[in-house]
Amino acid sequence: MTPLKNDRYLRALLKQPVDVTPVWMMRQAGRYLPEYKATRAEAGDFMALCTNPELACEVTLQPLRRFPLDAAILFSDILTIPDAMGLGLYFETGEGPKFKQPIVDKAGVDNLPIPDPEDELKYVMDAVRTIRKNLKGEVPLIGFSGSPWTLATYMIEGGSSKAFTKIKKMAFADPEILHALLDKLADSVILYLNAQIAAGAQSVMIFDTWGGVLSPRDYKLFSLQYMEKIVAGLTREYDGQKVPVTLFTKNGGMWLESIAATGCDAVGLDWTIDIAEAKARVGDKVALQGNMDPSILYAPAPRIEQEVQDILAGFGEGEGHVFNLGHGIHLDVPPENAGVFVDAVHKYSAQYHK
Protein backbone atom coordinates (compact mmCIF):
# COMPACT_ATOMS: atom_id res chain seq x y z
CA MET A 1 0.00 0.00 0.00
CA THR A 2 1.11 3.58 -0.71
CA PRO A 3 2.54 5.26 2.42
CA LEU A 4 0.52 8.23 3.67
CA LYS A 5 1.81 11.72 2.93
CA ASN A 6 -0.48 13.21 5.61
CA ASP A 7 -1.25 10.92 8.56
CA ARG A 8 -2.06 13.53 11.21
CA TYR A 9 -5.70 12.41 11.39
CA LEU A 10 -4.69 8.83 12.29
CA ARG A 11 -2.00 10.07 14.65
CA ALA A 12 -4.46 12.32 16.49
CA LEU A 13 -6.93 9.45 16.93
CA LEU A 14 -4.14 7.42 18.50
CA LYS A 15 -3.11 10.41 20.68
CA GLN A 16 0.27 10.71 18.98
CA PRO A 17 2.04 14.05 18.32
CA VAL A 18 0.92 16.14 15.32
CA ASP A 19 2.04 19.50 13.92
CA VAL A 20 -1.47 20.96 13.70
CA THR A 21 -4.92 19.70 14.71
CA PRO A 22 -6.37 17.60 11.87
CA VAL A 23 -9.78 18.51 10.48
CA TRP A 24 -12.50 16.97 8.33
CA MET A 25 -16.24 17.60 8.11
CA MET A 26 -19.17 15.29 8.49
CA ARG A 27 -20.96 15.23 5.11
CA GLN A 28 -17.98 17.01 3.54
CA ALA A 29 -18.94 15.32 0.26
CA GLY A 30 -22.44 16.57 -0.31
CA ARG A 31 -25.13 18.97 -1.32
CA TYR A 32 -23.39 22.21 -0.35
CA LEU A 33 -20.96 21.66 -3.26
CA PRO A 34 -22.14 22.51 -6.79
CA GLU A 35 -19.88 19.82 -8.23
CA TYR A 36 -21.63 17.23 -6.03
CA LYS A 37 -25.02 18.34 -7.33
CA ALA A 38 -23.75 17.94 -10.88
CA THR A 39 -22.46 14.41 -10.22
CA ARG A 40 -25.68 13.40 -8.48
CA ALA A 41 -27.66 14.68 -11.47
CA GLU A 42 -25.41 12.57 -13.69
CA ALA A 43 -26.11 9.51 -11.54
CA GLY A 44 -29.87 10.04 -11.65
CA ASP A 45 -30.67 9.68 -7.95
CA PHE A 46 -29.01 9.27 -4.57
CA MET A 47 -28.86 5.46 -4.44
CA ALA A 48 -27.63 5.30 -8.04
CA LEU A 49 -24.78 7.54 -6.90
CA CYS A 50 -24.05 5.37 -3.84
CA THR A 51 -24.04 2.14 -5.86
CA ASN A 52 -21.72 3.41 -8.61
CA PRO A 53 -18.14 3.00 -7.30
CA GLU A 54 -16.63 5.42 -9.82
CA LEU A 55 -19.11 8.19 -9.04
CA ALA A 56 -18.93 7.50 -5.29
CA CYS A 57 -15.16 7.93 -5.62
CA GLU A 58 -15.61 11.19 -7.53
CA VAL A 59 -17.81 12.79 -4.87
CA THR A 60 -15.55 11.51 -2.09
CA LEU A 61 -12.60 13.32 -3.69
CA GLN A 62 -14.43 16.56 -4.57
CA PRO A 63 -14.04 18.31 -1.19
CA LEU A 64 -10.34 17.37 -1.08
CA ARG A 65 -9.79 19.31 -4.31
CA ARG A 66 -11.25 22.41 -2.67
CA PHE A 67 -9.98 22.24 0.91
CA PRO A 68 -6.81 20.97 2.66
CA LEU A 69 -8.76 18.37 4.64
CA ASP A 70 -6.86 15.76 6.64
CA ALA A 71 -9.08 12.80 5.78
CA ALA A 72 -11.49 11.52 3.15
CA ILE A 73 -14.67 9.72 4.17
CA LEU A 74 -16.31 7.07 2.04
CA PHE A 75 -19.34 8.41 0.22
CA SER A 76 -22.15 6.03 1.08
CA ASP A 77 -25.25 5.87 3.28
CA ILE A 78 -25.83 4.41 6.73
CA LEU A 79 -28.80 2.40 5.41
CA THR A 80 -26.84 0.17 3.04
CA ILE A 81 -27.06 -2.79 5.45
CA PRO A 82 -30.87 -2.71 5.89
CA ASP A 83 -31.18 -2.24 2.13
CA ALA A 84 -29.00 -5.33 1.54
CA MET A 85 -31.23 -7.23 3.99
CA GLY A 86 -34.06 -6.79 1.49
CA LEU A 87 -36.25 -4.17 3.16
CA GLY A 88 -36.72 -2.14 -0.02
CA LEU A 89 -34.98 1.17 0.63
CA TYR A 90 -36.19 4.13 -1.40
CA PHE A 91 -36.05 7.90 -1.08
CA GLU A 92 -39.07 10.22 -1.21
CA THR A 93 -38.24 13.73 -2.40
CA GLY A 94 -38.20 16.01 0.62
CA GLU A 95 -39.00 13.19 3.05
CA GLY A 96 -35.79 11.20 3.27
CA PRO A 97 -35.33 7.42 3.33
CA LYS A 98 -38.21 4.95 3.54
CA PHE A 99 -38.53 1.14 3.61
CA LYS A 100 -41.16 -0.83 1.72
CA GLN A 101 -41.05 -3.73 4.21
CA PRO A 102 -40.43 -2.39 7.73
CA ILE A 103 -39.84 -4.79 10.60
CA VAL A 104 -43.03 -5.37 12.61
CA ASP A 105 -42.63 -8.75 14.33
CA LYS A 106 -40.36 -11.65 15.28
CA ALA A 107 -40.81 -13.34 11.90
CA GLY A 108 -39.51 -10.21 10.18
CA VAL A 109 -36.35 -10.32 12.30
CA ASP A 110 -35.88 -14.08 11.92
CA ASN A 111 -36.11 -13.82 8.13
CA LEU A 112 -33.47 -11.11 7.81
CA PRO A 113 -30.26 -12.35 6.18
CA ILE A 114 -26.84 -11.13 7.29
CA PRO A 115 -25.48 -9.55 4.10
CA ASP A 116 -22.19 -10.71 2.58
CA PRO A 117 -20.08 -7.53 2.24
CA GLU A 118 -18.42 -8.83 -0.93
CA ASP A 119 -21.73 -9.88 -2.48
CA GLU A 120 -24.80 -7.79 -1.67
CA LEU A 121 -22.60 -4.88 -0.54
CA LYS A 122 -19.79 -5.36 -3.03
CA TYR A 123 -20.49 -1.92 -4.53
CA VAL A 124 -19.42 -0.36 -1.21
CA MET A 125 -16.21 -2.39 -1.10
CA ASP A 126 -15.51 -1.54 -4.74
CA ALA A 127 -15.98 2.14 -3.87
CA VAL A 128 -13.51 1.81 -0.97
CA ARG A 129 -10.94 0.16 -3.23
CA THR A 130 -11.45 2.77 -5.97
CA ILE A 131 -11.21 5.71 -3.56
CA ARG A 132 -8.13 4.32 -1.84
CA LYS A 133 -6.41 3.88 -5.21
CA ASN A 134 -7.30 7.40 -6.35
CA LEU A 135 -6.27 9.05 -3.08
CA LYS A 136 -2.68 8.00 -3.88
CA GLY A 137 -1.70 8.21 -0.23
CA GLU A 138 -2.56 11.90 0.15
CA VAL A 139 -4.78 11.44 3.24
CA PRO A 140 -6.37 8.48 5.04
CA LEU A 141 -9.78 7.06 4.14
CA ILE A 142 -12.53 6.73 6.75
CA GLY A 143 -15.05 3.92 6.49
CA PHE A 144 -18.29 3.95 8.46
CA SER A 145 -21.57 2.36 9.43
CA GLY A 146 -24.69 3.30 11.30
CA SER A 147 -25.06 1.88 14.80
CA PRO A 148 -27.45 -1.04 15.34
CA TRP A 149 -29.90 1.14 17.28
CA THR A 150 -29.90 3.86 14.63
CA LEU A 151 -30.34 1.34 11.81
CA ALA A 152 -33.15 -0.33 13.74
CA THR A 153 -35.04 2.96 14.13
CA TYR A 154 -35.34 3.28 10.35
CA MET A 155 -36.10 -0.42 9.88
CA ILE A 156 -38.94 -0.43 12.42
CA GLU A 157 -40.33 3.07 11.90
CA GLY A 158 -40.21 2.54 8.13
CA GLY A 159 -38.19 5.74 7.66
CA SER A 160 -37.32 8.88 9.58
CA SER A 161 -39.17 9.62 12.81
CA LYS A 162 -39.62 12.37 15.38
CA ALA A 163 -41.22 10.45 18.26
CA PHE A 164 -39.80 6.93 17.61
CA THR A 165 -43.03 5.40 18.92
CA LYS A 166 -42.83 2.13 16.94
CA ILE A 167 -39.33 1.17 18.03
CA LYS A 168 -39.97 2.26 21.61
CA LYS A 169 -43.18 0.24 21.65
CA MET A 170 -41.13 -2.80 20.61
CA ALA A 171 -38.41 -1.95 23.15
CA PHE A 172 -40.85 -1.99 26.04
CA ALA A 173 -43.60 -4.37 24.86
CA ASP A 174 -41.45 -6.96 23.01
CA PRO A 175 -37.83 -6.30 24.01
CA GLU A 176 -36.64 -9.79 23.04
CA ILE A 177 -37.60 -9.09 19.40
CA LEU A 178 -35.68 -5.81 19.38
CA HIS A 179 -32.63 -7.38 21.03
CA ALA A 180 -32.63 -10.13 18.39
CA LEU A 181 -32.66 -7.47 15.67
CA LEU A 182 -29.93 -5.38 17.32
CA ASP A 183 -27.73 -8.46 17.76
CA LYS A 184 -28.16 -9.43 14.10
CA LEU A 185 -27.35 -5.86 13.07
CA ALA A 186 -24.23 -5.82 15.27
CA ASP A 187 -22.99 -9.01 13.58
CA SER A 188 -23.71 -7.45 10.17
CA VAL A 189 -21.87 -4.22 11.04
CA ILE A 190 -18.81 -6.16 12.23
CA LEU A 191 -18.62 -8.00 8.90
CA TYR A 192 -19.30 -4.80 6.95
CA LEU A 193 -16.66 -2.66 8.66
CA ASN A 194 -14.04 -5.40 8.65
CA ALA A 195 -14.63 -5.78 4.91
CA GLN A 196 -14.18 -2.01 4.48
CA ILE A 197 -10.89 -2.24 6.38
CA ALA A 198 -9.74 -5.15 4.19
CA ALA A 199 -10.71 -3.10 1.11
CA GLY A 200 -8.65 -0.11 2.24
CA ALA A 201 -10.40 1.94 4.95
CA GLN A 202 -7.74 3.14 7.39
CA SER A 203 -10.11 4.20 10.16
CA VAL A 204 -13.77 3.44 10.85
CA MET A 205 -16.56 5.37 12.50
CA ILE A 206 -19.93 4.29 13.89
CA PHE A 207 -22.71 6.88 13.64
CA ASP A 208 -25.28 6.50 16.42
CA THR A 209 -27.47 9.32 15.17
CA TRP A 210 -30.51 8.48 17.30
CA GLY A 211 -28.94 7.13 20.50
CA GLY A 212 -29.75 10.43 22.17
CA VAL A 213 -33.51 9.76 22.11
CA LEU A 214 -33.07 7.06 24.78
CA SER A 215 -32.98 7.34 28.56
CA PRO A 216 -29.59 6.69 30.23
CA ARG A 217 -30.60 3.13 31.19
CA ASP A 218 -32.06 2.33 27.79
CA TYR A 219 -29.13 3.88 25.91
CA LYS A 220 -26.79 1.37 27.54
CA LEU A 221 -29.27 -1.47 27.03
CA PHE A 222 -30.32 -0.86 23.42
CA SER A 223 -27.46 1.11 21.88
CA LEU A 224 -24.15 1.14 23.73
CA GLN A 225 -23.82 -2.58 24.47
CA TYR A 226 -24.19 -3.35 20.75
CA MET A 227 -21.60 -0.76 19.75
CA GLU A 228 -19.30 -2.27 22.37
CA LYS A 229 -19.83 -5.68 20.76
CA ILE A 230 -18.89 -4.20 17.38
CA VAL A 231 -15.73 -2.54 18.75
CA ALA A 232 -14.67 -5.90 20.23
CA GLY A 233 -15.19 -7.61 16.86
CA LEU A 234 -13.37 -5.15 14.63
CA THR A 235 -10.00 -5.57 12.94
CA ARG A 236 -7.83 -3.12 14.88
CA GLU A 237 -4.64 -3.59 12.89
CA TYR A 238 -4.31 -4.17 9.16
CA ASP A 239 -1.35 -4.17 6.80
CA GLY A 240 0.91 -3.35 9.75
CA GLN A 241 -1.06 -0.22 10.72
CA LYS A 242 -3.46 0.39 13.60
CA VAL A 243 -7.06 1.02 12.52
CA PRO A 244 -8.64 3.54 14.93
CA VAL A 245 -12.36 3.35 15.78
CA THR A 246 -14.53 6.38 16.55
CA LEU A 247 -17.99 6.23 18.15
CA PHE A 248 -20.38 9.15 17.72
CA THR A 249 -23.70 9.41 19.53
CA LYS A 250 -25.62 12.57 18.73
CA ASN A 251 -26.86 14.13 21.99
CA GLY A 252 -24.73 11.61 23.86
CA GLY A 253 -22.74 14.04 26.01
CA MET A 254 -24.17 12.71 29.27
CA TRP A 255 -22.70 9.26 28.54
CA LEU A 256 -19.13 10.18 27.56
CA GLU A 257 -17.50 8.04 30.23
CA SER A 258 -19.50 4.98 29.22
CA ILE A 259 -18.76 5.49 25.52
CA ALA A 260 -15.05 5.94 26.25
CA ALA A 261 -15.08 2.65 28.19
CA THR A 262 -16.14 0.57 25.17
CA GLY A 263 -12.58 0.16 23.90
CA CYS A 264 -12.93 2.68 21.08
CA ASP A 265 -10.05 5.01 20.23
CA ALA A 266 -12.07 8.22 19.91
CA VAL A 267 -15.43 9.68 20.90
CA GLY A 268 -17.25 12.05 18.59
CA LEU A 269 -18.89 15.08 20.21
CA ASP A 270 -21.82 17.14 19.01
CA TRP A 271 -22.04 20.87 19.84
CA THR A 272 -24.23 20.45 22.95
CA ILE A 273 -21.24 19.75 25.20
CA ASP A 274 -18.25 21.96 25.93
CA ILE A 275 -15.08 20.31 24.70
CA ALA A 276 -13.13 21.37 27.80
CA GLU A 277 -15.68 19.58 29.98
CA ALA A 278 -15.56 16.52 27.74
CA LYS A 279 -11.77 16.38 27.96
CA ALA A 280 -11.89 16.76 31.73
CA ARG A 281 -14.34 13.88 32.02
CA VAL A 282 -12.60 11.32 29.77
CA GLY A 283 -9.03 12.40 30.47
CA ASP A 284 -6.44 10.58 28.40
CA LYS A 285 -8.61 7.52 27.85
CA VAL A 286 -9.68 8.41 24.28
CA ALA A 287 -9.21 11.05 21.61
CA LEU A 288 -12.05 13.50 21.01
CA GLN A 289 -13.56 14.49 17.68
CA GLY A 290 -15.58 17.67 17.32
CA ASN A 291 -17.40 19.81 17.88
CA MET A 292 -18.39 23.08 16.22
CA ASP A 293 -22.08 23.78 15.61
CA PRO A 294 -22.50 23.41 11.82
CA SER A 295 -24.69 26.53 11.82
CA ILE A 296 -21.64 28.66 12.68
CA LEU A 297 -20.68 28.19 9.03
CA TYR A 298 -23.46 30.63 8.10
CA ALA A 299 -21.54 33.37 9.94
CA PRO A 300 -19.02 35.87 8.50
CA ALA A 301 -15.40 34.69 8.31
CA PRO A 302 -14.23 36.44 11.53
CA ARG A 303 -17.00 34.75 13.55
CA ILE A 304 -16.08 31.33 12.12
CA GLU A 305 -12.41 31.91 12.96
CA GLN A 306 -13.30 32.99 16.51
CA GLU A 307 -15.37 29.86 17.08
CA VAL A 308 -12.49 27.70 15.88
CA GLN A 309 -10.11 29.49 18.25
CA ASP A 310 -12.51 29.07 21.18
CA ILE A 311 -12.85 25.31 20.63
CA LEU A 312 -9.09 24.88 20.20
CA ALA A 313 -8.51 26.80 23.42
CA GLY A 314 -11.13 24.66 25.14
CA PHE A 315 -9.29 21.48 24.25
CA GLY A 316 -5.98 23.16 25.03
CA GLU A 317 -2.52 21.67 24.70
CA GLY A 318 -1.92 17.99 24.19
CA GLU A 319 -2.73 15.39 21.61
CA GLY A 320 -5.93 13.59 20.77
CA HIS A 321 -8.15 16.20 19.10
CA VAL A 322 -9.65 15.80 15.63
CA PHE A 323 -11.51 18.98 14.74
CA ASN A 324 -14.91 18.48 13.16
CA LEU A 325 -18.41 19.84 13.10
CA GLY A 326 -20.79 18.55 15.74
CA HIS A 327 -22.90 17.04 12.96
CA GLY A 328 -23.14 17.25 9.17
CA ILE A 329 -22.53 20.47 7.23
CA HIS A 330 -25.81 22.09 6.16
CA LEU A 331 -26.70 21.92 2.48
CA ASP A 332 -27.00 25.72 2.02
CA VAL A 333 -23.64 26.67 3.58
CA PRO A 334 -21.44 28.63 1.13
CA PRO A 335 -18.44 26.44 0.22
CA GLU A 336 -16.05 29.35 0.83
CA ASN A 337 -17.18 29.42 4.49
CA ALA A 338 -16.18 25.77 4.82
CA GLY A 339 -12.79 26.80 3.46
CA VAL A 340 -12.46 29.50 6.12
CA PHE A 341 -13.22 26.88 8.77
CA VAL A 342 -10.65 24.34 7.55
CA ASP A 343 -7.92 26.95 7.12
CA ALA A 344 -8.60 28.41 10.58
CA VAL A 345 -8.16 25.03 12.27
CA HIS A 346 -4.69 24.61 10.75
CA LYS A 347 -3.74 28.26 11.26
CA TYR A 348 -4.66 28.57 14.93
CA SER A 349 -3.90 25.06 16.20
CA ALA A 350 -0.12 24.96 15.71
CA GLN A 351 0.43 26.76 19.03
CA TYR A 352 -1.13 23.81 20.89
CA HIS A 353 1.30 21.27 19.41
CA LYS A 354 4.86 21.94 20.52
Which residues fall in the annotated binding site for substrate? 27-31, 77, 154, 209, 327
Give catalytic residues, as residue numbers: 27, 31, 40, 77, 154
Asked whether 320 and 51 are in contact (CB, 8 A), the reply is no
Measuring CA to CA, how many Å separate 234 from each of 162, 237, 250?
A: 32, 9, 22
Peptide bond into 324 cis (omega under 30): no
HSE (side-chain half, CA atoms, 13 Å) at 316: 9
In total, the chain counts a number of residues equal to 354
| Angle between helices 148-157 and 165-173 in degrees, nearest 10 | 110
Annotated binding-site ranges: 27-31, 77, 154, 209, 327
